[in-house]
Structure 1
Amino acid sequence: MNRSTFKVLFYLKRNAPKKNGLIPVMCRITVNGKVSQFSSKLDVEESIWNVETGRLSGRSLVAQEGNRMLDKIRVGINRAYQEVCDADSYVTAEKVRNAYLGLGQNHKTLLAVFKQHNEDYAKMVGKMKSVRSYLKYRTVYNHLSEFIRQRYKMSDIALRELTPAFITDFELFLRTEKNHCTNTVWSYMMPFRSIIYTAINNGWLPRDPFYAYHITKEETKRGFLTKEEISLLINGTFKKKKYELIRDLFIFCTFTGLSWTDMYNLTE
């Protein structure tokens, strides 16, 4: 591949200044006109940033340390680009970015770890694990996958890129995009937290992005159905045949006093 199609650029993310006034430096990788980017984890003063060179100006200790960090990132990306070229005939900006961030290695990304967990979990359903808990893990995986695509325009995210902001943004996504109430959000964040603990325990994640996160389950007072409401339910029609079966089972429990758990454990 012609190396002229490959570029690395550092730029300031001016629309997201930190509380201390510093501006985050982003790294943009371009291959054949297609772009992929990530945070360099370096914050700088805008006044000493040179747009033309993509580096810090001056001889101050801050400028020297910052430029040394940017040089290290550039060298790492060049190495990653060469590795992708050697291993794959089709090179993209995202592949280079992923290779640099360690996304190409097994169990280094959130969704890869989550997917492997779900595959292992599925094998224990009916023995040590329930179908309900397995389906919940699958639902959370699907929500995370959609969130990452929508928010970050990526197919996956490196574990070491997870921050407390990622956790709170995902909660907001569940509340606003999926319209889930607090207790549903709580029930989805627990499996997600479990995956993160697995990653930490295996040494794939150096810090816990959940460390400052808190969510508590809200106590709900369950009401009861009136005779009129039960009659409406009995005589109601449903679009899906499956719902009629669920209704029939519920009504059966209502008039017999059979518990939900006993109903759940009945075979055909």
Structure 2
Amino acid sequence: MKSTFKVLFFLKRDKKKSDGTMPIMCRITIDGQMSRFGTKLSVNPNLWDVNTSAVLGRTKEAAEINTFLDTIKTSIYNVYHDLLIRENNVTPDRVKNIFLGLEVKNQTVLELYQRHIDDIAMLVGISRSKSTLQKYEVARKHMASFIKEYYNVSDISLKEVTHSFLRNFEVYLMTSCGCKENTTAKFLQRFRTIILFAKNNGWITVDPFTNYKIKFKKVDRGYLTQEQIEVIMKKQFSTERLERVRDIFVFCCYTGLSYIDVKNLSEENIRNSFDEKLWIMGKRIKTGTSYNIPLLETPKQIIEKYKGQLSDNKVLPVPSNQKLNEYLKEIGAICGIDKELTFHTARHTFAVTIMLDNGSTMETLSNVMGHRNIKNTQIYGKITQRRVYNEMIVIENKIDNYSKMII
């Protein structure tokens, strides 16, 4: 149903002043609801035209009053239309209060998203990564599309974000956007960051996420066994591009570096440590957390293979993440690996196969991987057949020794 909106000026005839003039009032009407306020102007009632809501005559005073009333009317219309495109429920009191400066204009979802994005953009390369910026930009884009599709407005007030709004957004992400459960949960997490920022600044008093559970589906993080790593290492590839991608992938299987960290890896990050051996030392671009990784023989050989061939003191010829993952699928097919190979598989492989299967503690793994919280490391604490075998061998030896002592 179309909203009815009207601005009318009238005289307050029960408040006649000593000079015979009467105050000019303004009334705002929206769908039958009314709100009024004084314009701080007054006029002789004999000069007031009820039909046009204006002062009669061509005097300077009449012109000035009529011009001022026109300005008020235009400003009120602007406030109303600005609210109308952002909110579903616009009342005459809200329009009046914003016009009079009694109410600060409501913060809106997309405005606050953009503010957060602008803040991240300024911190890229300092404490935030470019990938984080891109994730929030995509999140804002999805939110803008959702608000337009579900509410038919270009933006919406933070005060209109309810439990129902969150549920509708979740459904939209999984249907219209085709997002999987965990991807949807990530978008909801980013939106919760925006909501918490608003609550901490006093722009909203109630957190709509209070009774809303963001649901993550437990997934099996893919990793390669030692045997599968060796198959890839020994494979002879017919093209240089696949050989290079294989080298980068294997390098990260033995170092645990993420894509952005290995892409930015320079010769300055390779240095001698307390043991006079080479280590990889740096800070994760994503979190700013330091990492110190002993350089094992396999990644050391890969570094030597490309030494002096690259510009800017870079260590490895790393292509775009998209190309890298595309070529890894090709490598997986050629090598007969029945797992989906992505670049992050290398980081998982390092955590499980190289570190945990060989007796690393969670604390050591957390430090090497540059995690800020050991909870992030514990997701790799899965039980593999190799770990069961290694631990059973130890148990078997202890039992055998105990049996010999008895006998």
- Indicate the TM-score class for this superposition, using the shorter chain for normalisation: 0.5 to 0.7
Q: CA deviation at 1:265?
A: 3.3
- Three-state SS of the structure 1 residue aligned to 2:3 is strand
Q: CA deviation at 1:92?
A: 9.5
Q: CA deviation at 1:205?
A: 1.3
Equivalent runs, 1:40-119 vs 2, <5 Å: 74-76=33-35, 85-87=73-75, 94-95=81-82, 97=84, 100=90, 108-119=107-118
Q: CA deviation at 1:179?
A: 1.2
Is the Cα–Cα contact under 8 Å of residues 147 and 170 in structure 1 kept in the other structure?
yes
Where structure 1 has 5 or more consecutive residues not aligned to the other structure, the ranges are 1-8, 10-27, 33-69, 237-243
Where structure 2 has 5 or more consecutive residues not aligned to the other structure, the ranges are 7-28, 39-69, 99-103, 267-313, 315-407
Q: 2:72 & 2:246 partners in 1: Cα distance?
A: 60
Residue in 1 that maps onto 2:188:
189
CA RMSD of aligned residues (A): 4.3
Is the Cα–Cα contact under 8 Å of residues 30 and 93 in structure 1 kept in the other structure?
no
Residue in 1 that maps onto 2:174:
175
Q: 2:232 & 2:139 partners in 1: Cα distance?
A: 33
- TM-score calculated relative to the size of structure 1: 0.57
Identity, in percent, stands at: 27
Which of 185-194 and 257-266 deviates more? 257-266
Equivalent runs, 1:208-247 vs 2, <5 Å: 208-224=207-223
Is the Cα–Cα contact under 8 Å of residues 111 and 141 in structure 1 kept in the other structure?
yes
Q: CA deviation at 1:255?
A: 2.9
Amino acid in the other structure paired with 2:34: V
Q: 1:119 & 1:206 partners in 2: Cα distance?
A: 24
Deviations 1:162-221 (A, max 9, x none): 111000110111111111111111111111001001111111112111122102322221
Deviations 1:200-244 (A, max 9, x none): 1111112111122102322221335769x979xx789xxxxxxx9
Deviations 1:24-58 (A, max 9, x none): xxxx52469xxxxxxxxxxxxxxxxxxxxxxxxxx
Q: 1:250 & 1:186 partners in 2: Cα distance?
A: 31
Q: Give every structure 1 segment of 4 or more consecutive aligned residues whose post-TM-superposition deviation is greater than 6 Å.
A: 70-73, 101-104
Deviations 1:132-153 (A, max 9, x none): 2221111111000000011111
Amino acid in the other structure paired with 1:259: G
Residue in 2 that maps onto 1:255:
250
Q: 2:78 & 2:30 partners in 1: Cα distance?
A: 22
What is the number of equivalent residue pairs in this alignment? 192
Which of 195-204 and 248-257 deviates more? 248-257
Amino acid in the other structure paired with 1:253: I
The verdict on how the C-alpha distance between 1:199 and 1:151 changes in structure 2, with shifts beyond 3 A counting, is same
The verdict on how the C-alpha distance between 1:212 and 1:96 changes in structure 2, with shifts beyond 3 A counting, is closer
The verdict on how the C-alpha distance between 1:84 and 1:127 changes in structure 2, with shifts beyond 3 A counting, is farther
Q: 1:181 & 1:78 partners in 2: Cα distance?
A: 52
Is the Cα–Cα contact under 8 Å of residues 147 and 173 in structure 1 kept in the other structure?
yes
Is the Cα–Cα contact under 8 Å of residues 148 and 154 in structure 1 kept in the other structure?
yes
Q: 1:72 & 1:206 partners in 2: Cα distance?
A: 28
Q: 1:92 & 1:214 partners in 2: Cα distance?
A: 36
The verdict on how the C-alpha distance between 1:250 and 1:174 changes in structure 2, with shifts beyond 3 A counting, is farther
Larger Rg: 2
Amino acid in the other structure paired with 2:82: K
- Three-state SS of the structure 2 residue aligned to 1:75 is strand
The verdict on how the C-alpha distance between 1:125 and 1:144 changes in structure 2, with shifts beyond 3 A counting, is same
